[in-house]
């Protein structure tokens, strides 16, 4: 259906395939939402096996303007674990 889109879960793609950016590029027309968490521990996306600065740069390059959600296990109160967002934005803009 033309109004049906995929949720692209970077955490699961990294854990099962390890090819997040090529999969994003290939599936972009079918994706309606991108979700992030660090791999392998599902923590905030500021550490782990997946370099989210590169994912952010790829999303910018691809013209992504849809939602990006974060579903991770916070290491404290959520509001105190959001520094990763400002850090990623700054790194991806370089």
Query: Does the structure show a pLDDT above 90 at 88?
Result: no
Whole-model pTM: value is 0.88
Q: What is the pLDDT of residues 16-56, one digit of tens each?
A: 999 999 999 999 999 999 999 999 999 999 999 999 999 99
Return the domain boundaries, the chain.
Answer: 6-92
**Cα–Cα distance list, 84 to 10, 51, 60, 91, 93 (Å):** 16, 12, 17, 10, 14
Query: Does the structure show a pLDDT above 80 at 72?
Result: yes
Of the pLDDT bands very low, low, confident and very high (cuts 50, 70, 90), residue 67 is: confident
Nearest to 33 by CA among 7, 70, 64: 7
């Amino acid at each position: 259906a033309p109004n049906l889109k995929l949720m692209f879960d970077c955490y699961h793609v990294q854990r099962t395939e390890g090819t997040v950016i090529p999969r994003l590029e290939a599936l972009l027309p079918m994706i309606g939402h991108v979700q992030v968490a660090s791999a392998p521990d599902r923590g905030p996306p500021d550490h782990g096996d997946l370099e989210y600065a590169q994912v952010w740069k790829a999303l910018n390059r691809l013209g992504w303007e849809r939602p990006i959600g974060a579903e991770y296990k916070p290491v404290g109160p959520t509001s105190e674990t959001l520094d990763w967002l400002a850090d990623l934005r700054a790194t991806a803009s370089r």
